[in-house]
Amino acid sequence: MEGLNSVKMAGYLMYPKISVLPSGYQKFTGRISIPVSYKKGEEMVDTRIFHNICAFGPVAEGLGELIADTPIQIHGSVSTRTYDGKCKHCGNADKRYWTEIQVSNFVVLTEE
């Protein structure tokens, strides 16, 4: 079975940062904050879930123009990469994983 790697979510833009790669291509990094409510006993609890996001090229330029807390809807795919790091407890080398949503399109939402 062929997999489908597609993500669509709405939330608030957090920690927007634009940088330029050595190739001259622009890269955007940030997070999307998604408000979530759930019932704990008789009480409603409000919290937020954060996801790392990134984008390249024209999409990165557009996201880079936005400010933190802008309500957005993103479309993209899940991307996981690995890198070598060190355990903070014992200092041994270990493999680390980084998962993010690679944004291919976005829409700025208006709050009503």
Q: What is the pLDDT of residue 1?
A: 57
Tell me the per-residue pLDDT of 3-40, one tens digit each, with 9 for 90 and over.
799 999 999 999 999 999 999 999 999 999 999 999 99
In this prediction the pTM is 0.83
User: According to the model, what pLDDT value does residue 3 have?
Assistant: 74
- pLDDT value at 112 more than 70: no
For domain 7-106, give the CATH superfamily: Nucleic acid-binding proteins (2.40.50.140)
Question: What does the pLDDT look like over 61-109, one tens digit per residue?
Answer: 999 999 999 999 999 999 998 988 887 788 788 888 889 999 999 999 9
3-state secondary structure of 61: helix
